[in-house]
Copies of this chain bind each other. A is one copy, B any other.
């Protein structure tokens, strides 16, 4: 018997489909609250569990950001701190690593623009060290790349990232992408942070090549924002092909989550900076 697995890039949702409220062998799920936000952590530990969930082995945090969306006071800075901490835990443990931040997706398609828009909020610092080693020596070297999409560049994003990685030799890649989810509770309200890279078919734009430790030789942290839900989750009519469900204020959602994600990445990479510093440096 074949179970239908709806299209979702969230490990949490895949686990809910397979295990319901129960448990799955080889998967550990933890629920918790931190700084006023709910975090669900799914750890996929065995090849069998990975195959069952269609998700690579690794750790997946899903943070619910309702307080930010309700624009509660200080929610933005709390969320930046929390996400930045979750990313930081996945970064290399030495102090001298360099990073490449990759904004995946199509800037011209609103729900797919989270990656490129986040990239605009990430401080590139690699060239600063080259310019004045003493002044900027506190900064970790960071490069930022938005590789575009196959349809407009003719180059698979993963291939472009590989070429750049081979040339610049960063110690870690942080990739940001728009995701698809299967449950409206998570749509435009959550962020998933994982250490598993991007696998073929994930993301709103459906990448065809992997972007992970196997393909690049270095760790690939992925920060993803579910901005669309496939209508097949709610209807399987033929005329629904090419349609999706999204939030009424998708433009604001993409803008808010991109700033939030960008700031969190900056603080994870440059722990000596503060949010007001970033406000100054990025405006």
Chain B residues with Cβ below 8 Å from A46 are none
**Contact between A154 and B167, CB atoms less than 8 A apart:** no
**Contact between A109 and B243, CB atoms less than 8 A apart:** no
Other-chain contact of A187, B120, B164, B243 (Cβ < 8 Å): B243
**Contact between B153 and A143, CB atoms less than 8 A apart:** yes
Q: Within 8 Å of chain B (Cβ to Cβ): is A270?
A: no
Q: Within 8 Å of chain B (Cβ to Cβ): is A146?
A: yes
CA distance A244 to B231 in the complex (A): 10
CA distance A231 to B160 in the complex (A): 38
- Given A110-B110, A187-B243, A245-B245, CB of A154 within 8 Å of CB of B125: yes
**Contact between B248 and A245, CB atoms less than 8 A apart:** no
Other-chain contact of A155, B120, B143, B187 (Cβ < 8 Å): B143
A277: shortest Cβ distance to chain B, in Å?
A: 9
**Contact between A280 and B73, CB atoms less than 8 A apart:** yes
Per the 8 Å Cβ criterion, residues 142-184 of A in contact with B are 142-146, 148, 150-156, 159-160, 162-164, 166-168, 183-184
CA distance A187 to B246 in the complex (A): 14
Q: Please give the residue numbers on chain A whose beta carbons come within 8 Å of chain B beta carbons, in ascending order.
A: 71, 73, 76, 108-110, 120, 124-128, 141-146, 148, 150-156, 159-160, 162-164, 166-168, 183-185, 187, 229, 231, 234-235, 237, 239-240, 242-252, 255-256, 259, 276, 280-281, 283
